[in-house]
Structure 1
Amino acid sequence: MKGPLFYAKILLFGEYGIIKDSKGLAIPFNSYKGALKSVQNLSGEAKKSNESLAKYYTYLADLDTDLVSFNLSDLKKDIDNGMYFDSSIPQGYGVGSSGALVASIYDKYAADKITVLENLTRDKLLVLKQVFSLMESFFHGKSSGLDPLNSYLSLPILINSKENIEAAGIPSQKEGKGAVFLLDSEQVGETEPMVSIFMNKMKNEGFRKMINEEFATYTDACIEDFLKGNVKSLFGNVKSLSKIVLKNFKPMIPTAFHKVWEKGITTNDYYLKLCGSGGGGYILGFTEDYEKAQKSLQDYKLELVYRF
């Protein structure tokens, strides 16, 4: 048995903001992927994955919801027969490893599933997002459902608000100098503690004001620029966003990268922002000149995501 492939995702803009109902833009990232597989003799990572799926089965069996039901006997049988999730998506890196797993389980075991081929109305997208939010909460404690949705549809998704999401068209890549890239912090980040820090900060009136007036404003402007292909304006807004994140989200930025972050803003060689919840994993970079950014960041591992 080998299931269809589900890809990683990158939340280009909107980390933390989408928890508080501002805009977000997520795109599939096809360099990493995963699929359900089965083997007779489990060992190593496959065995760990199979054991995790057994716990996940219990979670799904206990879900009390009218939104979705699963073919649980098939799922149980396949897990007992050595099913695991074979994935190249790094865990704790902010690129949706649990999202791809959730999408693959929904695809194979959901009864009356909403398929990718039907006319995806806004209502259907919202139902899918709610279902995925329930399913992914097993991994993170609280999930927006966006990562699995992105992985399941393999389409860019624009989040206008919690109740308003749509599939989005993004400008096709050009062979220009500019780029979006991933910078590997070479340390694993955990979503739950980072979200807890954010929620505690939100109790502070000054922080809430900054989120609503500065962070959300620049995030929305970046999304609009990106979708319309206004590259010049985009970099100005990304620089402002990078400064706001450095000043207000320090705990989410690995300490070793505070100076690297600042260097980008000072030199204009690149601008960094969080990729997912932060705390490790990937950091997202934007540059008007990828070669220059590579030289400036020569001590680090970079991965290209998108060309301008």
Structure 2
Amino acid sequence: MKGPLFYSKILLFGEYGIIKDSKGLSIPYNFYNGALKVDENLDGKAKKSNQELLKFANYLEDVSSDSESEVTFDIDKLKSDVKAGLYFDSSIPQGYGVGSSGALVAAIYDKYALNRITVLENLGREKLLQLKRIFSKMESFFHGKSSGLDPLNSYLSLPILIKSHEDLEPAGIPSQTTSGKGAVFLLDSGIVGETAPMVSIFMENMKQEGFKNMIKDKFVKHTDACVDDFLKGDFKSLFTNVKNLSNVVLDNFKPMIPQKFHDLWKKGIDTNAYYLKLCGSGGGGYILGFTEDFEKAQKALSDHKLEVVYTF
């Protein structure tokens, strides 16, 4: 058995902000993917995945039996497949902010959810929100708290515009140009990040009036402007807003930026060669970069591994 492929995702804008109703824009990233497979001779990574799936199956059994649950699973089938050697064969790096658990959740829902909402249906706002709620519940097993957006992106394999908690839609993003110098890229921090501790730092900070006001007055404002500019293809305005956002993150989200990248972050803002922002919850994994001249950014970041995500 080999299931269909589910892709990684990149939240271009909206990390942390979407918890507080900012806009967000999430795109599939087809460079990494994963699929469910069965093998009776498991070792290493596959064995670990299989053990994790057994715990996940037990968790989903509770979700299934909840009378208010919007989803039920074929738990017997899932458990017998796990016993037979089911695992998630994935190239998506874990703890890197590109949705490794989201792709797994999408794959499990696709294969084992009863009465599932399929991608072929006419997915209006209500169905999208229902899927997001289901995925949020499922992915909470991995992170403690999940928006459900990563699995939704992986399941639909479409860019998604988040307008607010209760309003999201598939989005059309500007076509990439091969001739342009500008790029969105991933910078590998070389450190694995963990989502749950970062989210709890954020939630703790939200109890402080000053931090809460900064999120509302600066972080959400710049994030919303970035989303609008990107969708319109107004890259001149986008870079002004990304620079502002990069500054706000450096000033207020230091625990989420690995220590050795603080100076590099500031260097980008000071030289305008590139601007960095969080990719996912931060704390490690990938850092997202924006530049108007990728060659210039490459020179400035020559000690680091960069992957281009989008060109313009």
TM over 0.5: yes
Aligned to 2:46: 46
Aligned to 1:212: 216
CA distance in 2, matches of 1:216, 1:66: 32
Q: CA deviation at 1:299?
A: 0.1
Deviations 1:168-219 (A, max 9, x none): 0100101200000000000000001101110111111111111001111110
Gaps of 5+ in 2: none
What letter matches 1:186 in structure 2? G
Q: CA deviation at 1:22?
A: 1.2
CA distance in 2, matches of 1:253, 1:224: 25
Do structure 1's residue 244 and structure 2's residue 248 form an aligned pair?
A: yes
Do structure 1's residue 15 and structure 2's residue 15 form an aligned pair?
A: yes
Q: CA deviation at 1:21?
A: 1.3
CA distance in 2, matches of 1:225, 1:26: 14
CA distance in 2, matches of 1:85, 1:285: 29
Aligned to 1:143: 146
1:259 aligns with one of 253, 259, 263: 263
Do structure 1's residue 73 and structure 2's residue 88 form an aligned pair?
A: no
What letter matches 2:90 in structure 1? S
Deviations 1:36-83 (A, max 9, x none): 001121111110000000000000001124300011111111111001
Aligned to 1:198: 202
Q: CA deviation at 1:97?
A: 0.2
Do structure 1's residue 230 and structure 2's residue 267 form an aligned pair?
A: no
Aligned to 1:31: 31
Aligned to 1:277: 281
CA distance in 1, matches of 2:69, 2:83: 27
Aligned to 1:186: 190
1:88 aligns with one of 82, 91, 94: 91
SS of the residue 2:240 aligns to: helix
CA distance in 2, matches of 1:225, 1:22: 15
Deviations 1:139-166 (A, max 9, x none): 0001000000000000000111110011
CA distance in 2, matches of 1:21, 1:234: 20
What letter matches 1:13 in structure 2? F
What letter matches 1:111 in structure 2? L
TM-score, structure 1 normalization:
0.99
CA distance in 2, matches of 1:15, 1:54: 30
Deviations 1:120-157 (A, max 9, x none): 00000000000000000000001000000000000000
What letter matches 2:192 in structure 1? V
CA distance in 2, matches of 1:197, 1:288: 32
Do structure 1's residue 102 and structure 2's residue 105 form an aligned pair?
A: yes
Deviations 1:200-241 (A, max 9, x none): 111111111110011111100000000000010000100000
CA distance in 2, matches of 1:78, 1:194: 34
Aligned to 2:59: 59
SS of the residue 1:62 aligns to: helix
Aligned to 2:272: 268
What letter matches 2:271 in structure 1? T
**Ranges of 4+ aligned residues in structure 1 off by more than 2 Å:** none
Tell me the C-alpha RMSD between the 2 structures.
0.5
What letter matches 1:246 in structure 2? L
SS of the residue 2:136 aligns to: helix
Do structure 1's residue 116 and structure 2's residue 119 form an aligned pair?
A: yes
TM-score, structure 2 normalization:
0.98
Gaps of 5+ in 1: none
